[in-house]
Homo-oligomer: A and B are copies of this chain.
Amino acid sequence: MVSVLTAQTMHSQRHRDPCGACVDCEVRKMAICAALQDDALHALEAIMSSRKLETGEMLVEEGAPKLKVFSLTSGLLRLFTLLPDGRRQISGFLYPGDYLGLADDGTYSQTAEAVVPSTLCCFSVNEMDELMDQHPALKDRLYVMTREALRQSRDNQLVLGRLAPVEKLASFLLVLSAQAKRVGHPDNPVHLSMNRTDIADYLGLTIETVSRCFTKLRTQGLIHLPDANTVSILSHRSLSAVAGTEFKS
């Protein structure tokens, strides 16, 4: 996807030379740039730079001044908060097309790290603010994405507060599957890019409980696990029943 880049192992590559034109972008129809007219898109492209992250690399840290905002083009990020004693809550994962900085005013309210090697479009907040003044459609688009993020966060509150462990995992797998489809990946053998610790910290469980829930779903014949990071959904219907909540997919 980023043909001009040399070695993927280089740290924090950043350059003004955009990684191919926006018109060729794989997430063109989902990201912030969706539903923008050509002039707005070109203006956006003009202030854009690109960036690569490798696994585990931190992009922004909670509390730091918000100087840049990002649009994820490939890979996966986790967004989380840490408690003083080390407990971690992942509030969500960012998929290609998602935007980083929706919730933040002035400072980042959460830390973001790459779960897998990722590529992003990178914007200066000041330039983005200017652009939003010139192109209201851009601001509207961000607002729509923020509302969507809010609904998602509230859905997560339901999952965290009222679902039993197996229900949590079942609903997580269904959301992952729907998400994969949205990005154009296969939605049935779902690939888990994140490890058990990430899943546990997202669902408010321990890794042991997550593992046991996988085993339980497998034993009940609802899923198949060719390997630890691949989940084949054998009965979408039954899995939905376990999740307890019918999700709009």
Contacts and interface: CB of A to CB of B under 8 A. Distances in A.
Interface of A: 81, 83-85, 87-89, 91-92, 102-105, 109-110, 136, 139, 142-144, 146-151, 153-158, 160-162, 201-204, 244-245
A174 B146 CA distance: 27
A160 B203 CA distance: 10
Copies per complex of this chain: 2
B160 A150 contact: no
A144 B146 CA distance: 10
Given A105-B144, A147-B103, A81 B153 contact: no
Contacts of A92: 154
Contacts of A91: 154, 157-158
Nearest to A157: B91
Contacts of A150: 102-103, 146, 149-150, 153
B157 A103 contact: no
Given A89-B162, A105-B148, A149-B150, 5 more contacts: A83-B158, A83-B162, A84-B244, A87-B162, A105-B147
